[in-house]
Each structure stands twice: as C-alpha cells, then as structure tokens.
C-alpha cells in the first residue's frame, strides 16, 4: 500500500485528473524532427519565462545537466560546484563518464558558495593543470534543505566566473520554488547564466521532463547531445502537455507547499530530541536531526512508515528529510507530526 503521507520527495507526485485530461488532448508530432507542436509550445513558454533565446525539452533534469556540461566542456575540463550538488552526488558520475569533465567541489554553509571562493579555486592557465571551464549552482540547494541562492550572491558568483572566462550553468530543479519563495522573477535569476534548466516533475507535478534553456547557439549544439544521449523523442507532446499544464496551474500553489514545510518544521522543533532550524525553512524541504531521540535516521523513518504510513527519506546516519508537494493530503502535516511524536515516544 502506498504511504498515506509521502514526504519522501516532491518527485512522488502523480499527475492530477485535470493534468491527465489535458495530456490526452495534446496535439503531437515527431519531436526528434522538431515537429511536435506541444513540445515546441512548452519550449517557447520556458524560453520566455527564463528570458532566453531558446529551450529544449528533455526526459529528465539529470540529462539537462549532462547535455549542458557536454556542450560547455571538453575532456579534462573542470566544473566548479558545491560539494553537495546533485551532479556530484547523484548522477552516477555522468560528467566523468559522458563528458570527461572533472568536478572541483566547493564547500560552504547551506549549499552556497561565494565569488571569492570561485576566484580562489580558479586554475592558472598552465598546460599541466585542468582548465577551469564552468561554474554550476543549484537553485534551490536540495540536500541542505531547499535553500534559495540570493540573487545578489548568484550575480556575484557569475560575475567572478565570467570575469575569468568561465561559463555559468544553473541546475534549476526547483527554480520555481525559489521564485515563489523570494518573489524574484525567474528571468532575473536566469539572466547571469549561459545555460539553465527547470524540472517539471518536482513541485510542479508533471510525470516526465525538464527544460534546458540558453542562447540559440547553445541549444543548437545541445540538440547534438540530446540525440547522442538518447534523449530525442517522438510523440513527446503527450508528456510535454503536462509541463504546460503545470506551468499554468501549479506554480503559484508552491506557496502552499512552503507553508506546509514551515508547519512541519515548527511542529518537529517542538518534539523532544529532534533538532531542526524551523526559522530557516525557505521552500518545501525540511531537514532534521533525530540524534537526540536515541534513534538512527533509518529507525525513525522505518517506524513512521510501518506504524503510521508516513514516509520520510534518510540522508545521513541521524539526518532525515521531509519534502512537501501537491500530493500531501489535507491534514497530512498533522498526521506526520503525530507519527513523529508517537515514534519517539514524546
């Protein structure tokens, strides 16, 4: 039986009935020939939203990162990114395997790093060192708790990178969460980047897909890698329609997810033995530590799931993550808090 309250990730959302109806009616064509009208419409919508010349629909955010790195980098090039960034931890070494690029992990509180760190990490242009080629940032920074990169910091990091001849890429898996949380327009966040993408499948609730954007030249070159990596599709309008629906109907409601995440964090903070910085929850991800309860993260999550039907994910020995999204039922946060309370016996 599926969990009653699934806080595992915002990737667990299922398309709503209205989204499914919209998908059924989508006009389709051969996407690989660029003849699918629904895919083309989605790409235009995202290019417009992000203020870029062009965009490209891809099956996943992971493929967006890999395609962008492939366009930007040659084998041996170095990509600067946070040490907890998704491409470094969770993309099966794709940048090394597919592109031949290496990562230069930067540390920094809450998934962020600074322009000074970028400048300090740059390699001198000598033949025996890797070439510093790209900076990649994650908006929002996932594994540290859905943290929004402030616009001024984004601009400073990109200015430092561009000043040294690097390109800038944004993994915008949850860009729209940052937009809704901060009130900063997507175009403003996107402006300093040579390439960026947004996921349709996370908080936006579509079943498949992400959209990569950049200059016309960047997207033209990206098509070569979309084809090479097996991401060129056929009647993909069926799934792209879900993205169009999501952009029209599921963006503003992200505010509800953020409110629920804050309610979850505030409730957890009141439980004995659970440590969480409720005031710092900015979007839909809550990270908390159960060390003080005497349980491991696995024990805590196993018990809330098996005894109460509430699923969390475990991201460290005593670190647990709860993510809110549009499939959390009414009363779901109260139920999750009750499950946590009963599990720790407090």
Ligand X SMILES: Cc1ncc(COP(=O)(O)O)c(C=O)c1O
| Cα separation of the two ends of the chain | 27
Which of 37, 150 has the CB closer to ligand X? 150
Task: Return the sign of the alpha-carbon dihedral for residues 231, 237, 242, 243.
Answer: positive
> C-beta of 276: minimal distance to ligand X in Å?
20
Q: What is the rounded (10 degree) CA torsion for 210, 65, 45, 24?
A: -20
How big is the CA angle at 237 (ends 233 and 239), to the nearest 5 degrees? 90
Which of 66, 318 has the CB closer to ligand X? 66
Which of 142, 324 has the CB closer to ligand X? 142
Return the structure tokens found at 26.
Answer: 């989508």
Which of 60, 182 has the CB closer to ligand X? 60
> C-beta of 23: minimal distance to ligand X in Å?
18
> C-beta of 107: minimal distance to ligand X in Å?
17
> C-beta of 293: minimal distance to ligand X in Å?
27
Which of 210, 328 has the CB closer to ligand X? 210
Residues that bind ligand X (CB under 6 A): 11, 60-62, 86, 138, 142, 171, 173, 199, 201, 210
> C-beta of 177: minimal distance to ligand X in Å?
11
> C-beta of 165: minimal distance to ligand X in Å?
26
> C-beta of 210: minimal distance to ligand X in Å?
5
How many whole angstroms from its chain centre is CA 33?
A: 28
In the DSSP assignment, the letter for residue 7 is -
Residue found by looking up tokens 């009647």 in the block: 235
> What does DSSP say about strands 313-314 and 319-323: parallel, antiparallel, or unpaired?
antiparallel
Which of 173, 264 has the CB closer to ligand X? 173
Q: Do the beta carbons of residue 110 and residue 141 sit within 8 Å?
A: yes
**Helices and strands in the chain: count of H runs, count of E runs:** 14, 12
Nearest to 103 by CA among 82, 118, 120: 82
> C-beta of 94: minimal distance to ligand X in Å?
10
Nearest to 58 by CA among 210, 174, 198, 195: 210
Which of 94, 192 has the CB closer to ligand X? 94
Kindly report the backbone phi and psi dihedral angles of residue 211, in degrees, each rounded to the nearest multiple of 5, phi listed first: -125, 125
Minimal CB distance residue for ligand X: 61
What pairs with residue 63 in β-bridges?
none
Distance in angstroms (rounded) separating the CA atoms of residues 26 and 37: 9
Which of 62, 195 has the CB closer to ligand X? 62
> What does DSSP say about strands 319-323 and 285-289: parallel, antiparallel, or unpaired?
antiparallel
């Amino acid at each position: 039986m599926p969990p009653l309250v699934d806080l595992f990730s915002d990737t667990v959302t299922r398309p709503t009935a209205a989204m499914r109806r919209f998908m059924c009616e989508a006009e389709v064509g051969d996407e690989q020939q660029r003849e699918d009208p629904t895919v083309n419409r989605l790409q235009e919508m995202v290019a417009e939203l992000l203020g870029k010349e062009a965009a490209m629909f891809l099956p996943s955010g992971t493929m967006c990162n890999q395609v962008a790195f492939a366009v930007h980098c040659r084998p041996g090039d170095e990509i600067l990114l946070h040490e907890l960034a998704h491409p470094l931890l969770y993309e099966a070494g794709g940048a090394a395997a597919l592109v031949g690029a290496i990562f230069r992990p930067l540390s920094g509180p809450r998934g962020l790093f600074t322009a000074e760190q970028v400048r300090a990490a740059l390699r001198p242009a000598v033949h025996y060192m890797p070439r510093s080629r790209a900076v990649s940032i994650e908006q929002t920074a996932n594994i540290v708790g859905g943290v929004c990169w402030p616009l001024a910091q984004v601009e400073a990091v990109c200015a430092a990178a561009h000043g040294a001849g690097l390109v800038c890429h944004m993994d915008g898996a949850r860009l729209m969460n940052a937009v809704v949380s901060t009130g900063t327009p997507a175009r403003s966040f996107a402006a300093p980047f040579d390439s960026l993408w947004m996921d349709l499948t996370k908080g936006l609730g579509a079943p498949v897909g992400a959209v990569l954007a950049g200059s016309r030249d960047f997207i033209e070159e990206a098509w070569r890698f979309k084809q090479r990596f097996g991401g060129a599709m056929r009647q993909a309008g069926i799934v792209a329609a879900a993205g169009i629906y999501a952009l029209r109907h599921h963006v503003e409601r992200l505010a509800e997810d953020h409110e629920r995440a804050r309610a979850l964090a505030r409730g957890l903070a009141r439980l004995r033995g659970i440590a969480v910085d409720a005031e710092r929850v900015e979007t839909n991800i809550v990270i908390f530590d159960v060390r003080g309860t005497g349980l491991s993260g696995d024990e805590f999550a196993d018990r809330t799931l098996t005894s109460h039907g509430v699923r969390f994910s475990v991201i460290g020995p005593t670190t647990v993550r709860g993510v809110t999204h549009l499939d959390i039922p009414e009363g779901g946060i109260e139920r999750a808090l009750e499950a946590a309370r009963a599990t720790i016996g407090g």
